[in-house]
Amino acid sequence: MFSRILIANRGEIALRIIRACQELGIETVAIYSEADKDAQYLKMANEAICIGPASPLESYLNIPRIISAAEIADVEAIHPGYGFLAENDHFAEVCQDCGITFIGPSAESMRQLGDKVEARKIAQKARVPVVPGSDGPLANDGEAIKMANKIGYPVILKAAAGGGGRGMRVVHSDISMRSAFASAQAESEAAFNNGTLFMEKYVLDPRHVEVQVMSDKAGNVLHFYERDCSIQRRHQKLIEEAPCPILDDKMREELCKAAIKVVKQTDYVGAATVEFLLDKNKKFYFIEVNTRIQVEHPVTEMVTGHDLIKWQLKVASGQILDIKQKDIKLIGSAIECRINAEDPARDFAPCPGKITKYIQPGGLGVRVDTHVYQDWMISPHYDSMIAKLITLQNTREESIATMVRALKEFKIEPVKTTIPVCLNILTHNLYLKNKVDTSFIEQHMS
Ligand code: MV4
Protein backbone atom coordinates (compact mmCIF):
# COMPACT_ATOMS: atom_id res chain seq x y z
CA MET A 1 0.00 0.00 0.00
CA PHE A 2 1.06 3.62 -0.51
CA SER A 3 2.53 5.39 2.49
CA ARG A 4 1.81 8.95 1.28
CA ILE A 5 -0.48 10.39 -1.39
CA LEU A 6 -1.53 13.81 -2.65
CA ILE A 7 -5.19 14.73 -3.08
CA ALA A 8 -5.70 16.86 -6.18
CA ASN A 9 -9.13 18.12 -5.26
CA ARG A 10 -11.07 20.16 -2.70
CA GLY A 11 -14.23 20.12 -0.62
CA GLU A 12 -16.15 17.07 0.46
CA ILE A 13 -14.33 14.63 -1.81
CA ALA A 14 -10.93 15.78 -0.50
CA LEU A 15 -12.21 15.11 3.02
CA ARG A 16 -13.72 11.77 1.95
CA ILE A 17 -10.30 10.69 0.60
CA ILE A 18 -8.44 11.94 3.72
CA ARG A 19 -10.76 9.80 5.88
CA ALA A 20 -10.19 6.66 3.79
CA CYS A 21 -6.42 7.25 3.91
CA GLN A 22 -6.41 7.71 7.69
CA GLU A 23 -8.16 4.37 8.10
CA LEU A 24 -5.62 2.69 5.81
CA GLY A 25 -2.63 4.34 7.50
CA ILE A 26 -1.75 6.44 4.45
CA GLU A 27 -0.36 9.95 4.96
CA THR A 28 -2.15 12.66 3.01
CA VAL A 29 -0.96 15.84 1.36
CA ALA A 30 -3.77 18.27 0.64
CA ILE A 31 -3.45 21.05 -1.89
CA TYR A 32 -5.59 24.16 -1.72
CA SER A 33 -6.28 27.45 -3.41
CA GLU A 34 -6.29 30.78 -1.57
CA ALA A 35 -10.11 30.61 -1.49
CA ASP A 36 -9.96 27.38 0.53
CA LYS A 37 -7.17 28.36 2.94
CA ASP A 38 -9.39 28.22 6.06
CA ALA A 39 -11.00 24.86 5.29
CA GLN A 40 -11.05 22.60 8.38
CA TYR A 41 -10.29 19.46 6.39
CA LEU A 42 -6.84 20.85 5.54
CA LYS A 43 -5.91 20.40 9.22
CA MET A 44 -6.81 16.72 8.99
CA ALA A 45 -4.27 16.13 6.24
CA ASN A 46 -0.65 15.49 7.23
CA GLU A 47 0.45 18.41 5.09
CA ALA A 48 -1.34 21.16 3.17
CA ILE A 49 0.19 23.11 0.30
CA CYS A 50 -1.21 26.27 -1.22
CA ILE A 51 -0.90 25.97 -4.98
CA GLY A 52 -2.39 29.24 -6.16
CA PRO A 53 -5.29 31.67 -6.36
CA ALA A 54 -9.00 30.80 -6.37
CA SER A 55 -9.31 30.53 -10.13
CA PRO A 56 -9.32 26.78 -10.98
CA LEU A 57 -6.99 27.28 -13.96
CA GLU A 58 -4.38 28.61 -11.57
CA SER A 59 -4.91 25.97 -8.90
CA TYR A 60 -6.99 22.76 -9.03
CA LEU A 61 -6.67 22.51 -12.82
CA ASN A 62 -3.03 23.58 -12.98
CA ILE A 63 -0.99 20.48 -13.79
CA PRO A 64 2.53 21.97 -13.35
CA ARG A 65 1.64 23.39 -9.93
CA ILE A 66 0.08 20.14 -8.75
CA ILE A 67 3.01 18.07 -9.98
CA SER A 68 5.46 20.48 -8.28
CA ALA A 69 3.56 20.09 -5.01
CA ALA A 70 3.62 16.31 -5.41
CA GLU A 71 7.39 16.34 -5.96
CA ILE A 72 8.10 18.73 -3.08
CA ALA A 73 5.89 16.69 -0.74
CA ASP A 74 7.42 13.45 -2.03
CA VAL A 75 4.21 11.49 -2.57
CA GLU A 76 3.89 8.14 -4.33
CA ALA A 77 0.47 8.72 -5.80
CA ILE A 78 -2.22 11.30 -6.60
CA HIS A 79 -5.94 10.84 -6.06
CA PRO A 80 -7.84 13.18 -8.42
CA GLY A 81 -11.32 12.85 -6.84
CA TYR A 82 -14.08 13.81 -9.32
CA GLY A 83 -14.30 16.83 -11.61
CA PHE A 84 -11.18 18.98 -12.14
CA LEU A 85 -8.43 16.66 -13.55
CA ALA A 86 -10.11 13.32 -12.77
CA GLU A 87 -10.79 12.46 -16.42
CA ASN A 88 -7.90 14.33 -17.99
CA ASP A 89 -5.79 11.73 -19.79
CA HIS A 90 -2.93 14.19 -20.22
CA PHE A 91 -2.73 14.59 -16.43
CA ALA A 92 -2.70 10.80 -15.95
CA GLU A 93 0.14 10.62 -18.47
CA VAL A 94 2.16 13.40 -16.79
CA CYS A 95 1.80 11.62 -13.44
CA GLN A 96 3.06 8.40 -14.99
CA ASP A 97 6.01 10.19 -16.65
CA CYS A 98 6.93 11.70 -13.29
CA GLY A 99 6.87 8.32 -11.57
CA ILE A 100 3.74 9.15 -9.59
CA THR A 101 0.84 6.67 -9.57
CA PHE A 102 -2.37 8.22 -10.84
CA ILE A 103 -5.15 6.69 -8.74
CA GLY A 104 -7.38 5.74 -11.63
CA PRO A 105 -7.11 4.12 -15.04
CA SER A 106 -4.19 4.57 -17.45
CA ALA A 107 -4.19 7.53 -19.85
CA GLU A 108 -4.79 5.00 -22.61
CA SER A 109 -7.94 3.48 -20.98
CA MET A 110 -9.20 6.99 -20.29
CA ARG A 111 -8.78 7.99 -23.94
CA GLN A 112 -10.49 4.82 -25.18
CA LEU A 113 -13.51 5.04 -22.92
CA GLY A 114 -13.69 8.83 -22.68
CA ASP A 115 -14.33 9.03 -26.42
CA LYS A 116 -18.02 8.13 -26.71
CA VAL A 117 -17.68 6.89 -30.29
CA GLU A 118 -14.86 4.55 -29.22
CA ALA A 119 -16.78 3.48 -26.12
CA ARG A 120 -19.79 2.60 -28.29
CA LYS A 121 -17.59 0.43 -30.49
CA ILE A 122 -16.12 -1.28 -27.44
CA ALA A 123 -19.63 -2.00 -26.08
CA GLN A 124 -20.69 -3.42 -29.45
CA LYS A 125 -17.62 -5.61 -29.56
CA ALA A 126 -18.57 -6.89 -26.10
CA ARG A 127 -22.06 -7.67 -27.48
CA VAL A 128 -23.66 -5.21 -25.09
CA PRO A 129 -26.74 -3.45 -26.50
CA VAL A 130 -26.20 0.14 -27.65
CA VAL A 131 -28.84 2.58 -28.91
CA PRO A 132 -29.23 2.27 -32.71
CA GLY A 133 -26.99 4.93 -34.23
CA SER A 134 -23.96 5.88 -36.30
CA ASP A 135 -21.01 3.50 -36.38
CA GLY A 136 -18.51 6.32 -36.17
CA PRO A 137 -18.20 10.10 -36.29
CA LEU A 138 -20.49 12.06 -38.65
CA ALA A 139 -18.49 13.82 -41.38
CA ASN A 140 -21.04 16.59 -42.03
CA ASP A 141 -24.73 17.56 -41.83
CA GLY A 142 -25.53 15.82 -45.10
CA GLU A 143 -24.33 12.53 -43.67
CA ALA A 144 -26.31 13.27 -40.48
CA ILE A 145 -29.52 13.65 -42.51
CA LYS A 146 -28.89 10.37 -44.34
CA MET A 147 -28.21 8.59 -41.06
CA ALA A 148 -31.29 10.09 -39.38
CA ASN A 149 -33.49 8.83 -42.19
CA LYS A 150 -31.98 5.37 -41.80
CA ILE A 151 -32.51 5.31 -38.02
CA GLY A 152 -35.80 7.25 -37.99
CA TYR A 153 -36.53 10.51 -36.15
CA PRO A 154 -36.27 11.63 -33.42
CA VAL A 155 -32.50 11.29 -33.16
CA ILE A 156 -29.94 12.82 -30.82
CA LEU A 157 -26.63 14.35 -31.88
CA LYS A 158 -23.93 13.87 -29.28
CA ALA A 159 -20.36 15.11 -28.91
CA ALA A 160 -17.76 12.32 -29.01
CA ALA A 161 -15.85 14.17 -26.29
CA GLY A 162 -19.07 15.23 -24.54
CA GLY A 163 -20.20 15.50 -20.98
CA GLY A 164 -22.83 17.32 -18.98
CA GLY A 165 -25.18 17.49 -21.95
CA ARG A 166 -22.93 19.88 -23.87
CA GLY A 167 -22.87 19.43 -27.64
CA MET A 168 -26.11 17.44 -27.47
CA ARG A 169 -29.16 18.20 -29.66
CA VAL A 170 -32.40 16.28 -30.12
CA VAL A 171 -33.47 16.53 -33.77
CA HIS A 172 -37.00 15.79 -35.03
CA SER A 173 -36.76 16.43 -38.78
CA ASP A 174 -34.50 17.03 -41.80
CA ILE A 175 -35.37 20.74 -41.72
CA SER A 176 -33.79 21.30 -38.29
CA MET A 177 -30.76 19.04 -38.82
CA ARG A 178 -28.43 21.57 -40.46
CA SER A 179 -28.71 24.19 -37.73
CA ALA A 180 -28.68 21.55 -34.95
CA PHE A 181 -25.54 20.00 -36.42
CA ALA A 182 -23.79 23.37 -36.70
CA SER A 183 -24.65 24.49 -33.16
CA ALA A 184 -23.83 21.12 -31.56
CA GLN A 185 -20.51 21.08 -33.40
CA ALA A 186 -19.66 24.67 -32.40
CA GLU A 187 -20.63 24.00 -28.78
CA SER A 188 -18.55 20.84 -28.67
CA GLU A 189 -15.60 22.58 -30.32
CA ALA A 190 -15.75 25.39 -27.75
CA ALA A 191 -16.21 23.15 -24.72
CA PHE A 192 -13.92 20.23 -25.56
CA ASN A 193 -11.73 21.54 -28.36
CA ASN A 194 -13.19 18.71 -30.42
CA GLY A 195 -16.19 19.10 -32.74
CA THR A 196 -16.66 15.39 -33.48
CA LEU A 197 -20.34 14.39 -33.43
CA PHE A 198 -22.16 11.07 -33.64
CA MET A 199 -25.82 10.11 -33.68
CA GLU A 200 -28.19 7.87 -31.78
CA LYS A 201 -31.89 7.14 -31.93
CA TYR A 202 -33.49 9.37 -29.28
CA VAL A 203 -34.91 7.24 -26.47
CA LEU A 204 -37.99 8.97 -25.11
CA ASP A 205 -38.06 9.68 -21.36
CA PRO A 206 -35.59 6.99 -20.30
CA ARG A 207 -34.39 6.19 -16.82
CA HIS A 208 -30.68 6.73 -16.24
CA VAL A 209 -29.14 3.69 -14.59
CA GLU A 210 -25.40 3.25 -14.01
CA VAL A 211 -23.36 0.30 -12.78
CA GLN A 212 -20.43 0.68 -10.39
CA VAL A 213 -17.44 -1.38 -11.46
CA MET A 214 -13.96 -1.86 -9.98
CA SER A 215 -10.96 -3.52 -11.64
CA ASP A 216 -7.57 -4.53 -10.32
CA LYS A 217 -4.22 -4.83 -12.10
CA ALA A 218 -4.59 -8.61 -12.37
CA GLY A 219 -7.64 -8.20 -14.62
CA ASN A 220 -10.30 -9.01 -12.00
CA VAL A 221 -13.44 -6.94 -12.59
CA LEU A 222 -16.26 -6.81 -10.04
CA HIS A 223 -19.51 -4.86 -10.00
CA PHE A 224 -21.14 -3.20 -7.00
CA TYR A 225 -24.63 -3.12 -8.49
CA GLU A 226 -26.40 -0.11 -9.94
CA ARG A 227 -27.62 3.39 -9.12
CA ASP A 228 -30.70 5.07 -10.52
CA CYS A 229 -29.87 8.70 -11.33
CA SER A 230 -33.03 9.67 -13.21
CA ILE A 231 -33.78 12.70 -11.06
CA GLN A 232 -31.75 15.34 -12.88
CA ARG A 233 -32.23 18.94 -13.83
CA ARG A 234 -30.38 20.15 -16.91
CA HIS A 235 -27.93 17.27 -16.62
CA GLN A 236 -27.24 18.03 -12.97
CA LYS A 237 -28.17 15.12 -10.75
CA LEU A 238 -30.24 16.05 -7.72
CA ILE A 239 -31.22 12.70 -6.20
CA GLU A 240 -29.67 9.28 -6.74
CA GLU A 241 -30.63 5.92 -5.30
CA ALA A 242 -29.43 2.34 -5.11
CA PRO A 243 -30.65 -0.12 -6.14
CA CYS A 244 -32.74 0.90 -9.19
CA PRO A 245 -36.25 0.26 -7.84
CA ILE A 246 -37.74 -1.13 -11.07
CA LEU A 247 -35.19 -3.88 -11.80
CA ASP A 248 -35.78 -7.47 -10.78
CA ASP A 249 -32.89 -9.76 -9.85
CA LYS A 250 -32.61 -11.25 -13.33
CA MET A 251 -32.48 -7.88 -15.11
CA ARG A 252 -30.05 -6.58 -12.50
CA GLU A 253 -27.69 -9.46 -13.12
CA GLU A 254 -27.91 -8.94 -16.88
CA LEU A 255 -27.20 -5.24 -16.58
CA CYS A 256 -24.28 -5.67 -14.19
CA LYS A 257 -22.76 -8.44 -16.30
CA ALA A 258 -23.04 -6.19 -19.36
CA ALA A 259 -21.14 -3.44 -17.52
CA ILE A 260 -18.35 -5.86 -16.64
CA LYS A 261 -18.15 -7.07 -20.24
CA VAL A 262 -17.59 -3.49 -21.46
CA VAL A 263 -14.81 -2.79 -18.95
CA LYS A 264 -13.16 -6.16 -19.66
CA GLN A 265 -12.59 -5.11 -23.29
CA THR A 266 -9.88 -2.72 -22.04
CA ASP A 267 -6.97 -3.02 -19.59
CA TYR A 268 -8.90 -1.01 -17.08
CA VAL A 269 -7.69 -0.41 -13.51
CA GLY A 270 -9.75 1.34 -10.84
CA ALA A 271 -13.31 2.56 -10.44
CA ALA A 272 -15.55 2.93 -13.48
CA THR A 273 -19.21 3.72 -13.92
CA VAL A 274 -20.97 2.23 -16.92
CA GLU A 275 -24.02 4.28 -17.87
CA PHE A 276 -27.17 2.90 -19.47
CA LEU A 277 -30.54 4.22 -20.54
CA LEU A 278 -33.54 2.13 -19.54
CA ASP A 279 -36.52 2.56 -21.86
CA LYS A 280 -40.23 2.18 -21.12
CA ASN A 281 -40.03 -1.57 -21.85
CA LYS A 282 -37.16 -1.87 -19.36
CA LYS A 283 -34.74 -2.62 -22.18
CA PHE A 284 -31.28 -1.26 -21.43
CA TYR A 285 -28.81 0.41 -23.77
CA PHE A 286 -25.18 1.27 -23.06
CA ILE A 287 -24.43 4.99 -23.48
CA GLU A 288 -21.07 5.85 -21.91
CA VAL A 289 -18.40 5.11 -19.30
CA ASN A 290 -17.18 7.48 -16.59
CA THR A 291 -13.57 6.73 -15.69
CA ARG A 292 -13.64 8.34 -12.23
CA ILE A 293 -15.22 7.86 -8.81
CA GLN A 294 -18.54 9.68 -8.95
CA VAL A 295 -20.23 12.16 -6.62
CA GLU A 296 -22.99 9.63 -5.90
CA HIS A 297 -20.69 6.72 -4.95
CA PRO A 298 -21.92 6.76 -1.31
CA VAL A 299 -25.32 5.19 -2.15
CA THR A 300 -23.43 2.19 -3.51
CA GLU A 301 -21.24 2.07 -0.41
CA MET A 302 -24.32 2.08 1.80
CA VAL A 303 -26.11 -0.82 0.08
CA THR A 304 -22.98 -2.97 -0.39
CA GLY A 305 -21.01 -2.14 2.75
CA HIS A 306 -17.87 -1.61 0.64
CA ASP A 307 -15.68 1.49 0.89
CA LEU A 308 -15.09 2.38 -2.77
CA ILE A 309 -12.37 4.95 -2.05
CA LYS A 310 -10.40 2.33 -0.13
CA TRP A 311 -10.81 -0.08 -3.04
CA GLN A 312 -9.52 2.61 -5.40
CA LEU A 313 -6.44 3.06 -3.21
CA LYS A 314 -5.91 -0.69 -2.89
CA VAL A 315 -6.16 -1.55 -6.58
CA ALA A 316 -4.03 1.46 -7.60
CA SER A 317 -1.27 0.24 -5.28
CA GLY A 318 -1.40 -3.20 -6.92
CA GLN A 319 -3.49 -5.12 -4.40
CA ILE A 320 -5.96 -7.54 -5.91
CA LEU A 321 -9.72 -7.52 -5.42
CA ASP A 322 -9.59 -10.42 -2.97
CA ILE A 323 -13.35 -10.85 -2.76
CA LYS A 324 -15.76 -12.86 -4.89
CA GLN A 325 -18.65 -11.35 -6.81
CA LYS A 326 -21.13 -13.48 -4.88
CA ASP A 327 -19.82 -12.03 -1.61
CA ILE A 328 -20.85 -8.51 -2.65
CA LYS A 329 -24.39 -8.39 -1.35
CA LEU A 330 -27.06 -5.80 -1.94
CA ILE A 331 -28.80 -4.90 1.31
CA GLY A 332 -31.48 -2.25 1.77
CA SER A 333 -32.17 0.98 -0.07
CA ALA A 334 -30.00 4.09 -0.11
CA ILE A 335 -30.86 7.57 -1.35
CA GLU A 336 -28.62 10.61 -1.80
CA CYS A 337 -29.80 14.21 -2.01
CA ARG A 338 -27.37 16.81 -3.25
CA ILE A 339 -27.70 19.93 -1.13
CA ASN A 340 -26.50 22.80 -3.31
CA ALA A 341 -26.19 26.50 -2.55
CA GLU A 342 -28.63 27.42 -5.30
CA ASP A 343 -31.83 29.44 -5.37
CA PRO A 344 -34.68 27.34 -6.80
CA ALA A 345 -36.78 30.52 -7.13
CA ARG A 346 -34.13 32.07 -9.41
CA ASP A 347 -33.71 29.18 -11.82
CA PHE A 348 -31.21 27.48 -9.51
CA ALA A 349 -28.73 30.35 -9.70
CA PRO A 350 -25.65 29.67 -7.50
CA CYS A 351 -26.01 31.28 -4.11
CA PRO A 352 -22.50 31.72 -2.73
CA GLY A 353 -21.91 33.35 0.64
CA LYS A 354 -21.11 32.75 4.27
CA ILE A 355 -23.13 30.10 6.10
CA THR A 356 -23.97 31.59 9.51
CA LYS A 357 -26.25 28.83 10.71
CA TYR A 358 -25.48 25.20 10.03
CA ILE A 359 -27.19 22.33 11.82
CA GLN A 360 -26.66 18.89 10.33
CA PRO A 361 -29.09 15.97 10.65
CA GLY A 362 -28.12 12.65 12.25
CA GLY A 363 -29.59 9.52 13.70
CA LEU A 364 -29.95 5.96 12.45
CA GLY A 365 -29.62 5.57 8.70
CA VAL A 366 -28.25 9.06 8.05
CA ARG A 367 -24.85 9.92 6.52
CA VAL A 368 -23.68 13.42 5.68
CA ASP A 369 -20.65 13.85 3.41
CA THR A 370 -19.51 17.45 3.57
CA HIS A 371 -16.59 19.75 4.26
CA VAL A 372 -18.98 22.49 5.42
CA TYR A 373 -19.55 23.80 8.97
CA GLN A 374 -20.84 26.98 10.57
CA ASP A 375 -19.13 30.15 9.24
CA TRP A 376 -17.86 28.39 6.12
CA MET A 377 -17.88 30.62 3.07
CA ILE A 378 -19.34 29.04 -0.09
CA SER A 379 -16.99 30.35 -2.78
CA PRO A 380 -18.36 31.60 -6.09
CA HIS A 381 -15.36 30.01 -7.82
CA TYR A 382 -16.39 26.39 -7.43
CA ASP A 383 -19.26 23.95 -7.62
CA SER A 384 -22.15 24.96 -5.37
CA MET A 385 -22.50 21.66 -3.53
CA ILE A 386 -22.76 22.13 0.25
CA ALA A 387 -23.34 18.54 1.30
CA LYS A 388 -24.49 15.12 0.25
CA LEU A 389 -27.21 13.74 2.50
CA ILE A 390 -27.46 9.96 2.30
CA THR A 391 -29.93 7.61 3.95
CA LEU A 392 -29.92 3.83 4.29
CA GLN A 393 -32.90 1.76 5.38
CA ASN A 394 -34.25 -1.72 4.69
CA THR A 395 -36.79 -0.57 2.13
CA ARG A 396 -37.17 2.32 -0.33
CA GLU A 397 -40.23 3.59 1.54
CA GLU A 398 -38.31 3.73 4.83
CA SER A 399 -35.30 5.32 3.16
CA ILE A 400 -37.55 8.05 1.74
CA ALA A 401 -39.15 8.63 5.15
CA THR A 402 -35.72 8.93 6.79
CA MET A 403 -34.60 11.32 4.04
CA VAL A 404 -37.67 13.54 4.48
CA ARG A 405 -37.05 13.63 8.23
CA ALA A 406 -33.35 14.41 7.75
CA LEU A 407 -33.96 17.14 5.15
CA LYS A 408 -36.31 18.86 7.61
CA GLU A 409 -33.63 18.62 10.33
CA PHE A 410 -30.99 20.21 8.07
CA LYS A 411 -30.72 23.96 8.82
CA ILE A 412 -28.56 26.05 6.50
CA GLU A 413 -28.79 29.86 6.59
CA PRO A 414 -28.81 32.39 5.02
CA VAL A 415 -27.90 30.85 1.62
CA LYS A 416 -30.71 29.37 -0.44
CA THR A 417 -30.44 25.62 -0.98
CA THR A 418 -31.97 22.75 -2.93
CA ILE A 419 -33.46 21.27 0.29
CA PRO A 420 -37.04 22.40 -0.50
CA VAL A 421 -36.79 20.98 -4.03
CA CYS A 422 -35.57 17.63 -2.70
CA LEU A 423 -38.48 17.60 -0.23
CA ASN A 424 -40.98 18.30 -3.01
CA ILE A 425 -39.64 15.45 -5.12
CA LEU A 426 -39.44 12.94 -2.26
CA THR A 427 -43.04 13.59 -1.24
CA HIS A 428 -44.43 13.52 -4.81
CA ASN A 429 -46.74 10.54 -5.32
CA LEU A 430 -45.11 9.65 -8.66
CA TYR A 431 -41.69 9.46 -6.99
CA LEU A 432 -43.15 7.29 -4.24
CA LYS A 433 -44.68 5.04 -6.90
CA ASN A 434 -41.36 4.71 -8.80
CA LYS A 435 -42.86 6.47 -11.80
CA VAL A 436 -39.89 8.68 -12.61
CA ASP A 437 -37.74 9.25 -15.67
CA THR A 438 -35.20 11.83 -16.76
CA SER A 439 -37.91 14.37 -17.56
CA PHE A 440 -39.49 14.19 -14.08
CA ILE A 441 -38.29 17.59 -12.86
CA GLU A 442 -39.25 19.43 -16.06
CA GLN A 443 -42.65 17.72 -16.10
CA HIS A 444 -43.60 17.85 -12.46
CA MET A 445 -41.45 20.39 -10.63
CA SER A 446 -41.68 23.56 -12.72
C1 MV4 B 1 -29.73 10.04 -24.54
C2 MV4 B 1 -31.09 10.32 -24.31
C3 MV4 B 1 -32.02 9.73 -25.14
N4 MV4 B 1 -31.60 8.95 -26.16
N5 MV4 B 1 -29.37 9.25 -25.56
C6 MV4 B 1 -27.95 13.11 -21.38
C7 MV4 B 1 -26.59 13.16 -20.78
C8 MV4 B 1 -25.82 12.05 -21.34
N9 MV4 B 1 -25.06 11.38 -20.32
C10 MV4 B 1 -26.81 11.16 -22.01
N11 MV4 B 1 -28.04 11.87 -22.07
C12 MV4 B 1 -29.09 11.38 -22.77
N13 MV4 B 1 -28.77 10.55 -23.78
C14 MV4 B 1 -30.31 8.74 -26.36
N15 MV4 B 1 -29.93 7.96 -27.38
C16 MV4 B 1 -31.43 11.15 -23.26
C17 MV4 B 1 -30.43 11.71 -22.50
C18 MV4 B 1 -30.88 12.59 -21.46
C19 MV4 B 1 -30.70 12.29 -20.13
C20 MV4 B 1 -30.06 11.14 -19.75
C21 MV4 B 1 -29.87 10.85 -18.45
C22 MV4 B 1 -30.35 11.73 -17.50
C23 MV4 B 1 -30.98 12.89 -17.85
C24 MV4 B 1 -31.17 13.19 -19.18
C25 MV4 B 1 -31.84 14.34 -19.51
C26 MV4 B 1 -32.00 14.63 -20.82
C27 MV4 B 1 -31.51 13.77 -21.80
- 230 Cα: distance to centroid of ligand 1 (angstroms): 10
Domain identity same for 40 and 99: yes
Domain identity same for 156 and 97: no
Domain identity same for 427 and 301: yes
What was the pLDDT predicted at 64?
98
Pick the residue whose CA is nearest to atom 15 on ligand 1: 202
- 158 Cα: distance to centroid of ligand 1 (angstroms): 10
Domain identity same for 158 and 94: no
Q: For residue 119, is it within any domain?
A: no
Domain identity same for 307 and 422: yes
Could you read off the pLDDT of 62-73 as tens digits, one per residue? 999 999 999 999
Domain identity same for 152 and 216: no
Domain identity same for 190 and 232: no
pTM exceeds 0.95: yes
Q: For residue 163, is it within any domain?
A: yes
What was the pLDDT predicted at 356?
98
Domain identity same for 307 and 245: yes
Number of domains in the chain: 3
What was the pLDDT predicted at 304?
98
Could you read off the pLDDT of 306-329 as tens digits, one per residue? 999 999 999 999 999 999 999 999
Catalytic residue, from 233, 292, 338, 367: name it: 292
Q: Are strands 77-79 and 4-7 parallel, antiparallel or unpaired?
A: parallel
| Cβ(367) – ligand 1 distance below 6 Å | no
Q: For residue 125, is it within any domain?
A: no
| Cβ(130) – ligand 1 distance below 6 Å | no
Tell me the residue range of the domain where 227 lies: 207-444
Domain identity same for 194 and 212: no
Could you read off the pLDDT of 141-182 as tens digits, one per residue? 999 999 999 999 999 999 999 877 899 999 999 999 999 999
What was the pLDDT predicted at 382?
97
- Catalytic, 227? Answer no
Q: For residue 123, is it within any domain?
A: no
Which ligand 1 atom sits closest to the C-alpha of 275?
Answer: 9
| Cβ(210) – ligand 1 distance below 6 Å | no
